Structure formats: structure tokens, C-alpha cells
Amino acid sequence: MSADTPTPQFRGVLGWIDHRLPVVSLGYNHLVVYPTPKNLNYWWNFGSLAGIMLIIQIVTGIVLAMHYVPHADMAFDSVERIMRDVNYGWLLRYGHAVGASMFFIVVYIHMFRGLYYGSYKAPRELLWMIGVVILILMMATAFTGYVLPWGQMSFWAAVVIINLFGAIPLVGDTIVTWLMGGFAVDNATLQRFFSIHYLLPFTIVAMSFLHLVALHQFGSNNPVGIDLTKKDKINFHPYYTVKDVFGLFVFLTIYALFVFYAPLTFAHIENYEPANALVTPAHIVPDWYFMPFYAILASFTFDISIFGITLMDAKLAGVLAMFAAVLILFFLPWLDTSKVRSATYRPLYRIAFWVFVVVVLLLGYSGSQPAEGAWLLIGQITTFYYFFHFLVLLPLLGKIEKPLPVPESINKPVLPTASAGAQAQPAE
């Protein structure tokens, strides 16, 4: 906790409880008088929105689990029964399915905001790394949940993704057998995935708690990207609670529009057919939030060889690149060598950032297309740039870029201003 956070005094029953179990003062210090930079913009709303979506996903998931049957012969029918016979079952299912996409949208925006404003730099490296762990847990949760409806796309996506682990030398086949619970995707696979899918959200809650602890150790970053003094901060409540409530209202409105009017926007029509191991869909794709990483996987259509000796086949190279695309985020605090946090004062990095955003969007769309022709070439080019951005461009920009002047305080402008009553003069 920040050193300038006051210790509250409670009376009566609250004081008696808090003296013995200081949960009241803990909540008061972290949610009411927590010192927060006074210049945060609405991009900082997405952290709290992610917490709200996590709660929605857990609540709807628990209720859905009460009616879902994790058996290969009954899973698809149990989902249809939830839609037809369970009171507001349609709302629970669509709220959970759309909520998964909204959760990833919020988290991705939250991460890109961190990339733009340098929220991964010292002393917040561990805060960023915990966030990457949360992202990986979210991916595992989403994939295992995607399999549960036991439709055509769910089943075949499980077959494809699980078999990717078979590319790992020596232990690949053992891992595949362990994940499947046998030698094919079947009932044992479904039961394992259901169990894992139910467990992982609670590990995300635990990691989110650590994320908050790390955040409150040094406080939030800010759009200027400088370390703040006490006079640069205000209490979290009521200033940012009001701002967060407004952002939540806008977000829930958009979320509700999808749930009630367009719940199948992010769905695959093939998943409304029962799983059939004898019929392969024409084009097997994961959910949209995996598309950039799936495109990286599909971009490796050639073996890696030197002097005619194959060092790594295309399948293994694609798998390693896909995992590396996520794991490289752990090293971002050290790959970016610039001393300036915010892209507001880094003109070259600001351009590189928006190019990177476009590249990720292109990766996502190319991942939704068959890996052939022009889209395969686009996927390969954007895959190259994805790693080039982290491994070459960021370290290089830190050496050659000349940042703009950074203010010493958010209360002090960078450029000189005229005294009161005098006409302002342009900076020399």
C-alpha cells in the first residue's frame, strides 16, 4: 500500500470487527482513499471493466454448470435444454458466450493501453508479468470452454489444437494422450476440459488479487508516464468511482445490445451441429480472440533447414512461434530500452505502436481465412513484423529516438507560460 494512504478509524460494530479482522479498513484504503493520479483518462477504465466481466463470467458459468452435462452423448443436448427449458437459460448462455468475447476485448484494450503509455516499465515489471499470466489463464479457460458445447467446431478445434502438442519432440505424444484422456478426443477429453474450465476462473481471481497488490504497491501509471508526488494525486472515491460507473454503464449497454440483439455475432454456425468425428468442417478456426496467434501458427508452411539438413519441421516451428508470441510479452520491460514511458513523448515509438496495432488486426483477420494465397502471404509478413517489433524495433528505438521534453509534474507544463495578466509568448 502507498505510504501516504491514511489509516481510517471506525466506530461501533465496524470498529470492533475491523480491529480484529481489518477487512473494512483494507477496502477503505484500496477503494476509497487510495491515492490515484489526477490525470487518468478513460483508457484506465478498462481494468475495472475487466474485473466486472470476470465476475459476470463466474456467476453465469456457475449457474450454467448446474444444468450442463459433461458427457459426450449428452453435452450438446444439455446445452439445447438450457436454451429451451431452463428459466432464462438463453440469457445465461448468451450472456456467458458474449461475455467471453467482451472480456477479451476489454483485456486487449487494457494491454494496448499499457503498451502505449509504458505501464510495463520499472517499477511495474512484475505488475505487467502478472497481467500476462492472467492473459494465458484466460486463453486456457476460453479454449476449454469453447469445447464444452460439443458442436462440430468445438470438437474439431479440440482435435487440431491438442494434436499441436504432438509436434514437441520426445514428450509430444505423451502430452497429447494425457490431454485427450485416451487416443482420441472423446468423453474423457470433455470431462477433463469441463473440470479445468470450472477451476481456472478461480485461479484468475487469485492472480487478479496479486495484480491489484502489485498495482497498489507503486500506484497507477499515468498518461504523462512520470513518477508523481502527493500533490499530483487524488482519492479514488468519489472522483474515479463516478468515472468508472459511467464507463461501466456505457460498456454494459454495448454488452446488452449484443446479448439481446446479436448474440451470434462471435459464434460459428457449425457449432450448432452435434459433434461428428466422421465429418470434418471445411475450415476449422478458433474463436476470434485466438486468431492472431492462430495466424502465426499457420504462417509456417516450410521446414527450417540449413545445408539441406532439417532442423525443425513446419509444424513444430509454428507451434513454437505461436507460444513465443505470447511469452515474449514477459520480456517486454527489458526489450524496450527507452527511459521515457509514455508514447505521448516518443514520436517514433508512437508511429511504431500504431503500425503494430494494424499488424495485429491483420494477423487476426488472416487467421480467420484459409491459409493459402494472398492471406497466407499477409500472415507470414505480419508474423515477421510481430517479432521484429519486439526483438529489433523496440531495443533500437530506445537507442536512436530523441524523446520530446517530459514535464516534471502533471501540474507543470512542458512549455513556459506567461505570468498572469501578460500575453503568452511562443516557446523558443
pLDDT confidence of residue 423: 46
Higher pLDDT among residues 427 and 23, named by residue? 23
Please identify which residue in the block is written with the cell numbers 526483438: 391
**Residue 10: pLDDT above 60?**
yes
Torsion angles phi and psi, residue 309, rounded to 5: -100, 120
Cα separation, 412 vs 302, in Å, equals 56
State the pairing for strand pair 233-235/304-306. unpaired
For residues 367-384, average pLDDT:
95
- The x, y and z cell numbers of residue 73, run together, are 452423448
The share of the chain scoring above pLDDT 90, in percent, equals 82
| pLDDT tens for each residue of 18-42 | 889 988 888 898 889 999 999 999 9
**Residue 55: pLDDT above 80?**
yes
**Residue 194: pLDDT above 90?**
yes
The CA angle 53-1-114, to the nearest 5 degrees, is: 50
Contacts of 205 (CB under 8 A, 6+ apart): 54, 58
Least confident range of 27-36, 139-148, 302-311: 302-311
Crossing angle of the two packed helices 291-298 and 314-327, in degrees rounded to 10: 150
- The x, y and z cell numbers of residue 86, run together, are 431452463
Question: Helices then strands (H, E): number in the chain?
Answer: 16, 4
The CA angle 234-235-239, to the nearest 5 degrees, is: 90
pLDDT band at 428; cut points 50, 70, 90: very low
- The x, y and z cell numbers of residue 340, run together, are 521515457
| Alpha carbon 200 to its chain's center | 15
Higher pLDDT among residues 371 and 69, named by residue? 69
| pLDDT tens for each residue of 232-249 | 999 999 999 999 999 999
pLDDT band at 4; cut points 50, 70, 90: low
Q: Is 309 helix (H, G, I), strand (E, B) or coil?
A: strand
pLDDT confidence of residue 6: 56
pLDDT band at 304; cut points 50, 70, 90: confident
| Residue 424 DSSP label | P
For residues 413-428, average pLDDT:
48
